[in-house]
Amino acid sequence: MAAMQLHWDIFCRVIDNYGDIGVCWRLARQLAAEHGRAVRLWVDELESLKPLCPSIDVSLGSQSWQGVEIRLWDEIMVVDRVADVVIEAFACELPEEYLDAMSQLPTKPCWINLEYLSAEAWTDDCHGVASPHPALPLVKYFFFPGFSAKSGGLLRENGLFARRDQVFAADSPSQSLHVSLFCYDTAPVKALLEAFRESPLPLVCHVPPGKPLAAVAAHLGGSGPWQLGQALIQPIPFTPIDDFDQLLWHCDINFVRGEDSFIRAQWAGKPFVWQVYQQDDGAHLIKLEAFLQRYSEGLDETTKTAIRRLFVAWNMGGNVASAWQGYVENRQTIARHNRDWAERLVERPDLATALVNFCAAKV
């Protein structure tokens, strides 16, 4: 069993919102369901997992759901078993007692630092690089999700495209343009809503609770729904992780943020606008530029300009209304590009499979 690396531990600290825990929860489930691994997900904040997986009980320190053992990672941690593969998600730093237990094993576990997703070229060179621990007989490997053949790939479950295409085939044509708005509170929401107000097309904007709805309510007042010209701004309930894809598939344009929803929007094959998680040193703008260059490669200049203008305006400010108009006018071409983009990405191994293969080679 050890050679199979049956037991996996994933450690996750919730930094902000649902991105970190969303990625870890998807990965844990896929490793269990598709690769037969016994997975424990250690998370320091069960309250952030609850909206994504409503069936869990936040009062329990240990429970199992969808084939994954969920453990509360708190200050009092008893190391009852060290896994064959240990994933430190997003440099969360393993607890000292767990590191000590790892170091004492005759056969050391495969230790992975799962990094944040980036399209920057340097991540390809750092993917899979070994980093020996300065004091313990342990080696950590950096694993970078990404868009290139040199990267660790993207999270994608088996059968995802088939389920998506079934929904597309069953969808009835709508006279309205449907938009989902999932953003941080730093987004220029006011400017976007005013652009919606001037929409020549009937438009329905679906706004989930939390920061998106708070930003909308701060501008429009009340609790909604709101009618702005031909645009209906419609609050919606929080969408659990298993239903989020459905929202993206049913909408014509999706505003997404961070990492998890960003990946799911690309698999949806629909036009999307990405808000990068803001960093004080401006590193997020470098990530945005790297993605735009990779994503827009081969596009005609008109479509490329329409995409870039809205992405930049949404992340940096600017004339959101004009950028939105240009994006909508080119949405059919953008939609075709996004389907082609998703089909190219799916030719590469998904993240879970790439991790399994990478770790097996380290035995």
Give dist(CA 182, CA 9) in Å, integer.
30
SS3 label, residue 56 = coil
Q: Report the candidate in 176, 155, 184 with the shortest Cα–Cα distance to residue 284.
A: 184
DSSP annotation of 186 = T
Catalytic residues: 20, 259
SS3 label, residue 78 = coil
Q: How many CB atoms lie within 10 A of CB 242?
A: 12
Give dist(CA 275, CA 267) in Å, integer.
17
Tokens 């809503």 found at:
193
With beta carbons less than 8 A apart as the criterion, state whether 167 and 251 touch. no
Angle of CA points 246, 252, 254, to nearest 5°: 70
List, in sequence order, every residue forming a beta bridge with 143; answer none if it has no partner: 114
